[in-house]
Structure 1
Amino acid sequence: MAASVATSQEKSITLEEIWSGKFSQQHLQSLQSLKNGVEYVVLNHDSDSGNSSIDVYSYKTGEQTRTLVDTKNLEDLKSFQSFSLSEDESKILLATDPQPIYRRSSKAIFYIFDVNSKKLTKFSDKKVQEPTFSPDNSKLAYVFENNIYIYNVAEKTEKQITKDGKINSIINGITDWVYEEELGFVRAFEWNAKGDKIAFLRLDETEVPEFSMDIFGSDLYPSEQVFKYPKAGEANSKVSLHMYDVKTEETEEIDLGDYSDFYIPRIKWTNKDYILSAQVLNRHQNQLDLLFVNAEDNTAEVILTEKVEAYVDVTDNLTFLEDNSFIWTSERDGFNHIYLYAESGKLKHQVTTGNWEVTNYYGYDKKNDRLFYQSTENGSVNRDVYSIKTNGKSKKRLTEKTGMNNADFSADFTYFINAFTSTETPMQYTLHSAKSGKLVREIKDNSELLDIEKPYHFSPKELSTLEVNGNELNMWTIKPSDFDESKEYPLLMFQYSGPGSQSVSNSYFNTNEYWYQLLANKGYIIACVDGRGTGFKGADFKKVTQNELGKYELEDQIAAAKKLGELDYIDESRIGIWGWSFGGFMASNAILKGNDTFTMAIAVAPVTSWRFYDTIYTERFMTTPQENASGYDENSPINHVEKLKGDFLIVHGGGDDNVHLQNTMRMVEALIQANKQFDWAIYPDKNHGIFGGNTRLHMYTKMTNFITEHL
């Protein structure tokens, strides 16, 4: 009788609850530190009135101290969606009616708000990209239809400084699709400190092949989205660096030296007048040169070269100190660490060292000569925040709790807001002294989520390691809440497995992991193993997959499944696997090449041949198909369809500009011609994230039904 009472009191989680956001965590709205270091600003929206405001809060107390702008006091503007402050914080750019382009890019209507005079100016009726104040706020540079313009704030006049911009042909001042997606930036122009020079990139994508997607929409006839997308081995944009002189209104191309078929992944002005830094990366991405460009005579000099066997990671960590010495991060000793170089490029010293990784570089506090960073020193599934002097001495751990700690520092490094989570703790936000790490106040702790979860009696996410192919691999497992080790359970494995990624960490449930609770309630064990090729265990572990994407990663998933299948409580004849994107590529390979181990697989938005994917990502790990045909073809699932024995579901978004639907369509055709039965679902016009309206609920219902029917 007691058992049935306990069962009746336990609530069963539903897909509707998961995708309604019932179990979502509360996060801090994106906040931005003010230069005084003791206050920050937050964008607030009033749901009743529809007004937007930028409110100022005290770090120390959390109390609101004032408001910079509130649209209830403005006649011409009801609300805005984002903002950016000028360098001296006297002017604010307000973005309205944003229109997304790709993952990071968008265009919008922008207004300038003067904090002192409270005056609002709409500087253009056109939707523009990346408007940026000059250092003295007298001008704005922005991009419209692939050309750069300068707006004079006082005179309210506009000047076009490039004339050759053309959609799907020439781009000035912003990046193309592949730069944006794989190098992680959109704005490709920079004002110098004096405001009399603008350095910018020009990308000529004339020879880049076009990709087109049908957008079915709701009209009688579908439309077509056409954009330049360089697939592996195909022509890239030709990139060049240019310098515009604001006074003379002349532009000159910079001769960077003897480079061909290269990328410029970063440009940044140094702390010395008229010296710009530019990073030049070869197409194979195994040599990165840091150049200093003199904007007075437009000459360039190589200061530092980073060269490795596999590939060099591009980061935003380059930081110039007052004397123009600079901070640089590198994996040159086998682990990612911080280095200090003289202005000449000569190494002064390695700041951090050890068999662990620096995973985030937060910045430099000049006043106290301290660098702030995040690392895996406390284990690869954990993160902690540290400070250290530039000479590598006086290292201090600033976080105490074991789990994932991530800091957001105030502008002058007086405080940091720490975001902490572990397998037992949803996200907690606390304010700390940057000097000591001492707790100043608690901000938000998501304790209400734990109350919501109580009636469900969720199973814990158990962290462990698994000895596979000579490596200790990180793993988590979720078991049924009524787990009985004398019974046998089917196993569902999830993985992503992409280069440098991490799916196993000491963190609380994400949305998918609530879905795993639902599956666990149905009698499944769910496990996730980070195999070779994933990150945060050193360069050798991460880069062993070079030129063979999918080979060692798959060997580890198969070996892990077999090892788990040997456990008395796992039914080795019922092991499934699923994944999304790279994980979908892996799940597809697993059901084919691992057909004696896996009986079921779900692949969402999978790459089915690396020949279909973009240059920068694919060639970073594989070189080109012309150089490495076997690496591409041996490890691509489209070439192994005849091996299918188990149950296979493929899911893709019809409007995926990243992993094109072409991957699934070509895979489907190959499976059909091999006379293999499978299931598939296409979500019309949905991008790589496959969301919107009821889409996620529908998709996860389909996947749940597939698992319960076939595993």
Structure 2
Amino acid sequence: MTTEPESFPRRHARTQRFTLGAPRSFTVAPDGSRVAFLRARAGAERAGALWVLDLPGGGERVAADPAVLLGGGGERLSPEERARRERSREGGAGIVGYATDAAVELAAFALSGRLFTAELRAGTTRELPVPGPVIDPRPSPDGRHIAYVAAGALRVVGAEGDGDRALAEPDAPGVTQGLAEFVAAEEMDRARGFWWSPRSDRLLVARVDDTPVRRWWIADPAQPERDPQHVPYPAAGTPNAEVRLFVTDLGGIRTEVVWDRARYPYLARVHWSDAGAPLLLVQARDQRGQLYLAVDPDTGATRMVHADEDPIWLDLFAGVPCWSPSGQLVRIADEGGARVLAVGERPLTGPQLQVRAVLDVGASDVLVTASAGEEASAPEIGETHVYRVNELGVARISGEPGVHSAVRSGAVTVLVSAVLDRPGSVARVLRDGEEVAVVRSYAESPGFSPRVSLVEGGARRVPCAVLMPRDYPGDTPLPVLLDPYGGPHGGRVVAAHHAHLTSQWFADQGFAVVVADGRGTPGRSPAWEKAVHGDFTVTLDDQIEALQDLAKTHPLDLSQVAIRGWSYGGYLAALAVLRRPDVFHAAVAGAPVTDWRLYDTHYTERYLGDPGADAAAYAHSSLITDEGLSDAAEGPHRPLMIVHGLADDNVVVAHALRLSSALLAAGRPHEVLPLSGVTHMTPQEQVAENLLLLQVDFLKRALGTDRTPAAGPNG
């Protein structure tokens, strides 16, 4: 009996895009003796375990195994933990996050709502008997205590399990202590709500009051016996949660940190190290002004260290602000048309680099990730590299073209690299720049490599990836499928193998696939990103410009052009067939934002402003207003499939339903595919697999093509 090989869609779903089994979440001990990380035991195993690599040459060992700790029982996640994972797009299971003390000797993590610690040197684990469900446990820097959140309270327990107590409890309905509010976790990349002092004697604790936030109902119509969820959702133009910050000692004595919260309501960043006072970054609601504030932890008073203003908006970046060991402010700023690293008041990089994140600040340098700027000597399409920066200059640490990041402490660096012609990523451990180990990956290989070219298209030099079927002889033009994200915070044209697997599978079904990163996408220049201010529709203009220019040099049949996308890409796909049916002939719009008034405050107001004052910008970028549909009314009606998860609490299903109602009222045929129980992610294996197959079937029907898919083991 022979067994048919699994299809690519099934393997892609089962392995979570071939990421399961790859090491991640590295932490380096400051003495260079070990590296902690997470990794599943196999490429189709969802449950992550905590591992330790002993240096030098000690090998890898399991520090905490969820299967052992849970005794073979299944995981049970609280609603709060499910929400945290949704915000971080975490699709794994088991140990999905951990925190350590300063020496990286003690780790703490939550598993099925229970609190566990692992002694990383000794290799022992224990469960601490505390109230649950536990969220975000974090050891104190000295390793003597664990702080965590349970039932909306910030609690602390001794590392031996003694002295558990609440330091900050909810003092009113709708209040939580020590958790990030929705927009912080979803849009600011701030998932935390409490921070230990470097002396381990007190914490900064965020108090979040969700009472002002409007409530929405999230229901599952396929389960009518279940109560809907009543969730706070701060839609554009509506009230946000009120966020305050308190210094709290281990006895529960609290001192409020004072700043002008009316003018700067967003608590965007918190940093507390032994190099200086606690440091805050607070933003105005319109995100055109922000303050860097130093906190006196004894009184709660703040003093301004630096202020930024921008007529369009100010971005937030990973790893900053922070103090250098010498006490200077480290930040990333837009200066002279470039995104630069600044230490003190001095920029240390120029227009050749677009700095994206600060990875580590050492005594003699700063480690950053950056892309080549618009004034670089040669384009590096889709590449992100690791650089050492100091007053003497800039040195690149990563070598081969690709997407690189790193974690560093002292002399040891873990450099993680993904390249275009090699599956997966490689995690190399360097000591003083010399390789001393490679962390093993158990991720499965997809069994093929994308046939992809990275090029630039159009007068704006839009970064593009072009993929052809692997069996394509090159003799006839092909139907075209645009496969973008195409909006803020979401570049898809990257010099990494796995980023193009799904696009290659679509190409193998008989398409020439084009992925374009137009204006608004990250990594090129501040002006490039900010070109979408007040008008999201320019992102469609760039897709068209790239498509038409690439057709001059590639075998693209412009009489058969389809587009697919998810989230912002879904918005872009629907926009394409509604506004430009002369160019696009079919679209699949997955979880599209159709009415920007229904999306959250921090994201939407950054780009389109206050809907009360900037109603025209919202109407012009909407898919469902009269303006949104009027341009399409006179053109041909193109086939459109709308796909949406009914449990989505980020882009709620009301977006799809309102678009469908508007299309029905306008007499425009379309299809709607509701996904019961699915959130903004689609982690369910069968759903993810069949969703790809259904899209191909729809696109072929819509374009009227019956081209036979390319043969191969992953077809």
Contact 2:429 2:438 (C-alpha < 8 Å) held by counterparts: no
Contact 2:195 2:203 (C-alpha < 8 Å) held by counterparts: yes
Name the amino acid aligned to 1:467: G
Counterpart among 435, 456, 466 of residue 457 in structure 2: 466
How far apart, in 2, do the equivalents of 1:303 and 1:434 lie? Answer: 35
Query: How many Å apart are 1:506 and its aligned residue?
Result: 1.6
Query: Who is 2:200 aligned against?
Result: 195
Query: Who is 1:265 aligned against?
Result: 268
Query: How many Å apart are 1:596 and its aligned residue?
Result: 1.0
Query: Who is 1:350 aligned against?
Result: 347
How far apart, in 1, do the equivalents of 2:146 and 2:450 lie? Answer: 54
Shift in CA distance, 213/478, structure 1 to aligned 2, threshold 3 Å: same
Name the amino acid aligned to 2:358: Y
Query: Who is 1:320 aligned against?
Result: 323
Query: Who is 1:427 aligned against?
Result: 424
How far apart, in 1, do the equivalents of 2:683 and 2:107 lie? Answer: 33
> Which is bigger in relative contact order (C-alpha 8 A, separation at least 6)?
2
Structure 2: tracts of 5 or more residues without a match? 75-93, 373-378, 704-715
Greater radius of gyration (CA): 1
Name the amino acid aligned to 2:599: Y
Contact 1:386 1:398 (C-alpha < 8 Å) held by counterparts: yes
Equivalent positions of 1:435-584 (< 5 A) are 435-436=432-433, 438-440=434-436, 449=445, 452-453=447-448, 460-468=451-459, 471-483=460-472, 486-510=475-499, 513-548=500-535, 550-565=536-551, 569-584=555-570
How far apart, in 2, do the equivalents of 1:400 and 1:68 lie? Answer: 32
Query: Who is 1:332 aligned against?
Result: 335
Query: Who is 2:376 aligned against?
Result: none
Shift in CA distance, 481/111, structure 1 to aligned 2, threshold 3 Å: closer
Counterpart among 172, 180, 186 of residue 177 in structure 2: 172
Equivalent positions of 1:47-62 (< 5 A) are 54-61=50-57
**Pairing 1:373–2:368 present:** yes
Shift in CA distance, 70/584, structure 1 to aligned 2, threshold 3 Å: closer
Contact 1:464 1:476 (C-alpha < 8 Å) held by counterparts: yes
Contact 1:355 1:538 (C-alpha < 8 Å) held by counterparts: no
**Pairing 1:87–2:102 present:** yes
Query: Who is 2:18 aligned against?
Result: 24
Shift in CA distance, 308/632, structure 1 to aligned 2, threshold 3 Å: same
Contact 2:27 2:407 (C-alpha < 8 Å) held by counterparts: no
Shift in CA distance, 669/362, structure 1 to aligned 2, threshold 3 Å: same
Shift in CA distance, 76/118, structure 1 to aligned 2, threshold 3 Å: farther
Equivalent positions of 1:409-424 (< 5 A) are 409=408, 411-422=409-420, 424=421
TM-score (norm 1): 0.85
Query: Who is 2:250 aligned against?
Result: 246
Name the amino acid aligned to 2:515: C
How far apart, in 1, do the equivalents of 2:166 and 2:450 lie? Answer: 61
Contact 2:483 2:565 (C-alpha < 8 Å) held by counterparts: yes
How far apart, in 1, do the equivalents of 2:427 and 2:66 lie? Answer: 30
2:179 match: secondary structure: coil
2:660 match: secondary structure: helix
Query: How many Å apart are 1:51 and its aligned residue?
Result: 11
Counterpart among 207, 213, 218 of residue 213 in structure 1: 218
2:668 match: secondary structure: coil
Contact 2:577 2:585 (C-alpha < 8 Å) held by counterparts: yes
Aligned identity (percent) is 20
Name the amino acid aligned to 1:701: L
Query: Who is 1:100 aligned against?
Result: none
Query: How many Å apart are 1:682 and its aligned residue?
Result: 0.3
How far apart, in 1, do the equivalents of 2:474 and 2:64 lie? Answer: 61
Query: How many Å apart are 1:290 and its aligned residue?
Result: 0.4
Deviations for 1:390-434, whole angstroms, at most 9, x for unmatched residues?
x2x15322222122232233x223333332312x22234253645
Aligned residues: 662
Name the amino acid aligned to 1:141: A
**Pairing 1:135–2:141 present:** yes
Shift in CA distance, 336/46, structure 1 to aligned 2, threshold 3 Å: closer
Contact 2:131 2:150 (C-alpha < 8 Å) held by counterparts: no
Query: Who is 1:301 aligned against?
Result: 303
**Pairing 1:612–2:598 present:** yes
Contact 1:210 1:228 (C-alpha < 8 Å) held by counterparts: yes
Deviations for 1:681-702, whole angstroms, at most 9, x for unmatched residues?
0001200012313101221111
Contact 1:44 1:52 (C-alpha < 8 Å) held by counterparts: yes
**Pairing 1:596–2:582 present:** yes
Query: Who is 1:388 aligned against?
Result: 389
Query: Who is 1:151 aligned against?
Result: 157
2:228 match: secondary structure: strand
How far apart, in 2, do the equivalents of 1:131 and 1:475 lie? Answer: 42
How far apart, in 2, do the equivalents of 1:444 and 1:112 lie? Answer: 24
Query: Who is 2:711 aligned against?
Result: none
Deviations for 1:618-644, whole angstroms, at most 9, x for unmatched residues?
011111101110110111111234526
Contact 2:18 2:443 (C-alpha < 8 Å) held by counterparts: no
Equivalent positions of 1:682-697 (< 5 A) are 682-697=674-689
Contact 1:608 1:638 (C-alpha < 8 Å) held by counterparts: yes
How far apart, in 2, do the equivalents of 1:34 and 1:258 lie? Answer: 37
Query: How many Å apart are 1:152 and its aligned residue?
Result: 4.3
**Pairing 1:647–2:639 present:** yes
Query: Who is 1:398 aligned against?
Result: 397
Shift in CA distance, 145/710, structure 1 to aligned 2, threshold 3 Å: same
Shift in CA distance, 288/480, structure 1 to aligned 2, threshold 3 Å: same
Query: Who is 1:102 aligned against?
Result: none
1:260 match: secondary structure: coil
1:235 match: secondary structure: coil
Name the amino acid aligned to 1:24: F
Counterpart among 224, 227, 230 of residue 223 in structure 1: 227
1:190 match: secondary structure: strand
Shift in CA distance, 29/399, structure 1 to aligned 2, threshold 3 Å: closer
**Pairing 1:363–2:360 present:** yes
2:582 match: secondary structure: coil
1:591 match: secondary structure: helix
